[in-house]
Amino acid sequence: MNEKPEILLIGGGGHCKAVIDVIEQENRFKIAGIIDIKEKIGEKVLGYKIIASDEDLKLLLKEYQYVFISLGQIGNCEKRKELFKKCKNLGFSFPKIISPYAYVSRYSIIGEGTIVMHGAIINAGAKIGNNCIINSKALIEHDAEIEDNCHISTGAIINGGVKVKECSFIGSNATTKQYITIPKNSFIKAGSIVK
């Protein structure tokens, strides 16, 4: 039987734990280690070792093909965006990670480096960009478009035909009216109703 390809995770905080759980459940990749700040090298996250810092990425490319940004995003997307760009420019590959407990329509499109977490639903005609977090129990309705580097939080509802422009954060349990556009770099507070 073929060995599973190895993957490096970048960012060892709370979001990393949720990412590890989804990767383990999906069972397509073997987590080789985590990349974080120098001071944390040697520490463990759910049993996986922090093996290097951002400065070592070029060196790690000799050994590993796949990376995934496991740094969270509340509000500002700049750090995730910068890391994604840096890894792309170096030549790393970004898979999409989809929980087996999510529903993703075969008529939807999911970009690279995006994670779809447990219980999320992505319906027909939806388009999700690169390097996005579609968090647990989020609902992305038909024909909605989520641009790159967005975080759709736990339980958020993006209704039909909504466009969420890049680098936006939609808080937990926020709900959007259908066919509206959410501007670039928006921060929508938890529980908001967006008309």
pLDDT, mean of residues 41-67: 96
Q: Is the pLDDT of residue 20 over 70?
A: yes
Q: What is the mean pLDDT of residues 26-45?
A: 97
Average pLDDT, the chain: 96
| Domain 6-90 fold | Rossmann fold (3.40.50)
Give the CATH class of 96-186. Answer: mainly beta
156, 175 in Cβ contact below 8 A? yes
Q: If DSSP codes are grouped into helix, strand and coil, which group holds residue 92?
A: coil
Q: According to the model, what pLDDT value does residue 171 have?
A: 97
pLDDT at 138: 98
Residue 25 has pLDDT above 90, yes or no: yes
Burial class (CB in 10 A: 0-12, 13-18, 19+), 38: exposed
pLDDT digits (tens, 9 = 90+) for 130-154: 999 999 999 999 999 999 999 999 9
Buried b (16+ CB within 10 A) or exposed e, 151-172: bbbbbbbbbbbbbbbbbbbbbb
Tokens of 106: 């075969």
pLDDT band at 1 (very low <50, low <70, confident <90, very high): low
**Ranges of CATH 2.160.10.10 domains, the chain:** 96-186
